Amino acid sequence: MRNSRRKGQLRAPVAEAMKAYAEDGALAFHTPGHKQGLGAHRLLRELVTEQGLREEVSLMEELDDLHAPGTCIREAQELAAALYGADAAFFMVNGTTGAIHAMLMAALQPGDTVLLPRNAHRSMVGGVILVGAHPMFLPPEIDDELGIAMGLSPEVVERAVREHPEAKALAMVSPTYYGVASDLRRIAEILHAHDMLLLVDEAHGAHLKFSGELPVQAMDAGADMAAQSTHKLLGSMTQSSLLLVREGRVQPERVQNAASLLQTTSPNQLLLASLDIARLQMAEAGERLVGRAVRLAEELREAVNGIGGLSSFGRERMTTPGAVALDVTKVTVSVRGIGVSGAEAEQLLRHAYGIQCELADAYNVLFLLSYADTQREIGRLRDVLEDMAEKHRKKGIFAMRCRMPGIPLAVKSPREAFFASSMAVPFEESVGRVAAEQVMFYPPGIPVLCPGEEITGECVEYVREMLGLGIRAVGPRDVKLDRIRVME
């Protein structure tokens, strides 16, 4: 980063404005009700510092307006756009789900066709319902040995573009939860040649910009918009995210309108400040901090592959069109070789060893390494994995009986199914009915059913096995799936 540009980055405008307001000493006859900590309960004071409570105000003139930014928020967003190489950046305070909803609403209109990989996050389906678009699902590559979805290949995208020339955009995830990145540059070329948009759910890629050893970030690969979870692997508070925009095919004013429609009119200033400070931290030392996480992750991966029965895939597996690069800070550990499921391993790690992984699926446990980790944490995790593999090994290799079913027949659009009259029926008796709610397991994050799709016997069988393994269902009202809601 050039010195002059870097100097401009070494400020936190939102945080500075909050501190200045608190120090001004104006008597508060405004929200929030705790009056800058004056009436805060003891437990709240323990959660938030005295200074934080004094600064936890919003909508004052000095603190700007997220919906029409003109001072500190505008400056902070411009600094974020500059750091990430975007034309515009929008602070989001209802998570990357809100960023994805705003992205889809800004890019699409009711009735538009949008291409979606089947492993799209549930927020993508929610955005499609809000917009009233028609999704055309594309199959990601599946690694049967690992039991996870990989990326989306350019060949699949090219075929989908030919079959659906009316589509306005592809909204895809890259990198995946497991760190697998698709060939975004080639996919962007394909879409732009047909005047389509590339919209990227980059929830797990806010750190990619800061290391040449990681996959290229979406904006640098040619994406038109990318939604990043700044809180997931960088230093902002949970629920805070960025929506990055490239001008040309997208109008930033339309994005602002969509974000304003979907976000609260009372944004928490602490969340906005945390986004500002996370950007500052990366401007100050991002390459060093993220580089350390990369080195530690590779060290951990090498250690895991030296433990009998455990394995962790690396860049060597990124050899297919749908998997061209890997975010190595996502360390996926396969435990099937010691005869246990990922869900069993998660419980052992948490309750026998005091280690909490990010997620567990049928075959794996996933560990996220970030700029905050040090040699101490990695050493402890390595020792725990060695002990678990030695003391809790079972005979044989764990394997599922069922494979992920194919994409069911779409009878209605997700929006039609969402707003239709529905009823709850026993799940075992639902075959042939049309689902009125989404059913997925996260991980692996691929919907078994989306609203509007016909329920098959394969779906029921797969769901029952996943539930039996202790993998939690996401989407249905009855998470045990004794009953499911179907269209009447």
Tokens of 355: 């280690």
pLDDT at 7: 66
Tokens of 127: 């955005």
The class level of CATH for 3-283 reads alpha beta
pLDDT at 39: 96
CATH (one of 3.40.605.10, 3.90.1150.10, 2.40.160.60, 2.40.260.10) for 287-391: 3.90.1150.10
Q: Which fold has domain 414-487?
A: Ornithine Decarboxylase; Chain A, domain 4 (3.90.100)
Secondary structure E strands in 77-228: 88-92, 113-117, 134-138, 142-143, 148-149, 169-173, 180-181, 197-201, 225-228
E strand or H helix that includes residue 473: strand 473-474
Residue positions counted in the chain: 488
Residue 196 exposure: Cα atoms within 13 Å on the Cβ side = 26
DSSP-derived letter for residue 324 is: -
Secondary structure E strands in 310-465: 325-326, 330-334, 359-360, 364-368, 422-426, 439-441, 447-449
Contact 472, 444 (CB under 8 A): no
User: How many Å apart are CA 333 and CA 358, to the nearest integer?
Assistant: 11
User: How many Å apart are CA 144 and CA 399, to the nearest integer?
Assistant: 11
pLDDT at 296: 98
Q: What would the DSSP string read from start to end of 281-294? A: HHHHHHHHHHHHHH
Beta bridge partners of 148: 143
Q: What is the mean pLDDT of each run of 10 residues along the chain (488 residues)?
A: 66 95 91 94 94 90 94 97 98 97 98 95 94 95 88 97 98 97 98 98 98 98 98 96 97 97 95 98 98 98 98 95 96 97 96 97 96 97 98 94 89 95 97 96 81 96 93 92 97
DSSP-derived letter for residue 413 is: -
Q: Where in the chain is the domain with CATH 3.90.100.10?
A: 414-487
pLDDT at 454: 98
Q: Where in the chain is the domain with CATH 3.90.1150.10?
A: 287-391
pLDDT at 4: 46
* Other Cβ atoms within 10 Å of 458 Cβ, number: 16
pTM for this entry: 0.95
Tokens of 354: 């005091």
Beta bridge partners of 242: 91, 228
User: How many Å apart are CA 2 and CA 85, to the nearest integer?
Assistant: 14
* Other Cβ atoms within 10 Å of 238 Cβ, number: 11
User: How many Å apart are CA 141 and CA 138, to the nearest integer?
Assistant: 10
Tokens of 24: 């001004």
For residue 345, which of 368, 370, 366 has the smallest C-alpha distance?
Answer: 366
pLDDT at 5: 59
pLDDT at 335: 98
pLDDT at 444: 63
